Structure 1
Amino acid sequence: MPDTPTSVMIFAAGFGTRMGDLTRATPKPLIKVNGKGLIDHTLDLVDSISPEITVVNAHYLADHIVDHFADKDAIISIEKPDILDTGGGLKAALPLLKQSPVFTSNSDCIWDGPNPFRLLLESWSPKRMDALLGCIRVENCLGRVSPGDFSIDENGMISRKGEFVYGGVQIIKTDRVRAHPNRTFSLNEIWDQIAQDKRLFGLDYPGRWCDVGHPDGIALAEGLLRGQDV
């Protein structure tokens, strides 16, 4: 089993309910930000690390996701009849991803700074890590109204609550995901297991980040991409 991730899982199955009417007929990953689909900003970052396999999951308006990727080098993992949450979605896609560890990424974030996939790869240490999460300091987050998710100690290990927000990109070993007894579950359950074994780590991302989970986030993200002081 290789120690370096060469596959990427992009989560694009959600309902995007916080977007209101914007997602009535369009899945959130395809909402335009600065002239192109939100998920395409993530794909630009993914493509620059040249993964062997890219998998995108789909559930809500899945046919739109399938059509969007018709001419792209990605495999679509359609979740039906039910949406599977992050852990279940990754578990369902494991036969397509073929190896562990893997990258996973949300599709509703904009990054301003170095490529987070590349930084994670440079910091990945499989002998002591089972997951490495890209995290941003709260003061460098746009569109985020809730407090931080994690703290990072002097050794890089993370624990719940603190001044860091999870940015939606990580490297994770998949053995615990594969072994989970349920079909539908959150990756938060897996992180808690990994943290108990002191193998959950965080990367302090040096740039800025925007959550495009609600309509106001679109303008914030576009300002960030244009280099405005937002």
Structure 2
Amino acid sequence: MDLTPSAGLFFAAGLGTRMRPLTLDRPKPLVTVGGTTLLDHALALGSGLTRRVVNTHYLAPLIVTHLAGTGVLISDETDLLRDTGGGLRHAMPLLGPGPVFTLNTDAIWSGPNPFDLLAGHWRPGEMEALMLCIPRDRALGHAGPGDVLREADGRLHFGAGAVYSGAQIIDPAALAGHDDPVFSLRAVWERLAGRGTLHGLDYPGRWCDVGHPDAIPLAETLL
């Protein structure tokens, strides 16, 4: 099995409640920043992947129409919103075997390509997941205390530190034991952190969390 990730899941199934009223008539990934949808910004980062998969739930036909003819595969969750962990497991037949990238589609990046950075630091014999983290002073549009703390050897545990960027490599085998159809990747990460296989990497550029309308002008300053 090839342990170099070549497929990615782009999360686009959420309800986008924090982005209202813009998401009353469109899913959040189709909100535009700088004249381009958030989804297209995200997919461009993964243009070198052999397989790109987008999951859909809320107003799914709009995303399906938007991606028609692009070669991007659709993981249909219109029957049930599965959260991030359940969504990844549901998409695995489309992603194929081995480690995969996952990316939230509600951020704008300025700096090195996050997929290239993660791939360059991925050590499959040592890691089950590698999360790309943003130092809080480089995280625009994010008002929280941070998500993770990184040890000197790169291992992560949860606490008020850096912000999780929404980009990672994960070995889907780490999902074993999570049998509910709906579950968050947070439950997976916590178990990996406990056994020392959750690692992190700081992003050297800037990043903006586009989770609410007021963040759009901030994100456009990075473009």
Cα distance in 1, alignment partners of residues 198 and 64 from structure 2: 34
Alignment of 1:1-230 (within 5 A): 1-47=1-47, 50-225=48-223
Contact preservation (8 Å) 2:58, 2:78: no
Normalising to structure 1: TM-score of the pair?
0.95
Quick check: 1:102–1:171 contact (8 Å CA) kept in 2? yes
| CA-CA distance at 1:176 after TM superposition | 2.6
C-alpha deviation, 1:179, in angstroms:
4.1
Q: In 1, distance between residues paired with 2:176 and 2:94?
A: 13
Which aligned segments of 4 or more residues in structure 1 are displaced greater than 2 angstroms? none
2:130–2:169 CA contact under 8 A, matched in 1:
yes
Matching residue's letter, 2:196: K
Q: How many Å apart are 1:77 and its aligned residue?
A: 0.7
CA contact (8 A) 1:91 1:178 kept: no
1:58 partner letter: T
In structure 2, C-alpha distance between the alignment counterparts of 1:71 and 1:37, rounded to whole Å: 17
TM-score where L is the length of structure 2: 0.98
CA distance in 1, matches of 2:13, 2:176: 19
The one-character-per-residue Cα deviations of 1:18-68 (angstroms, maximum 9, x if unpaired) are 011100001100001001111111111100xx2111110000000001001
| Secondary structure of residue in 2 paired with 1:145 | coil
Separation in 1, partners of 2:160, 2:150:
8
Is the CA contact 1:129–1:200 (under 8 Å) kept in the aligned structure 2? yes
Task: Say what the alpha-carbon RMSD is for the aligned residues.
Answer: 0.9
In the aligned structure 2, how far is the partner of 1:121 from the partner of 1:82? 31
Deviations 1:166-221 (A, max 9, x none): 00000000013254211000000110111111000001110110000000111100
